[in-house]
Amino acid sequence: MSAQGEFIFEPGAASPVPDAHPLAGLIGEISRGWSLPVGRQVRVDLAGEPIDELRGRLELAAPPDLPLDPRQPLRLRIGKVAFSSRQITGWAELAE
């Protein structure tokens, strides 16, 4: 058997490498602290933007300062549109 053949997984076998993003814990902590679904598909209503509503994956536009402080605004984005967490007037999570 070749060395490569030793690493072929059986169908249905669990992979030894987790699929989780390396920053999943931090992103989850940010999501809980700010009560926002970071990393999820959402519809976001914004104040102070020419676009009233955005749809897409809510992402961090810049990392927050450490230690995390939910009283501070987050820099977020959906696609190429960046905004502050303070501009969000409402949001809904969409089916992915």
Domain ranges in the chain?
A: 36-96
User: Count of alpha carbons within 13 Å of 38, Cβ hemisphere only?
Assistant: 25
Would the pLDDT of 75 be above 80?
Answer: yes
The separation between the first and the last C-alpha atoms of the chain, rounded to the nearest angstrom, is: 42
Does 53 score more than 60 pLDDT? yes
Q: What is the mean pLDDT of residues 39-49?
A: 91
**Domain formed by 36-96, architecture:** Roll (2.30)
**Is pLDDT above 50 for 25?**
yes
Choose the most confident range, by mean pLDDT, from 26-30, 41-45, 52-56.
41-45
> How confident is residue 19, by pLDDT bands cut at 50, 70 and 90?
low
pTM of the model: 0.73
Position 20 scores a pLDDT of 61
**Cα–Cα distances in angstroms (integers) from residue 59 to residues 1, 4, 29, 38, 71, in the given order:** 45, 38, 14, 6, 18
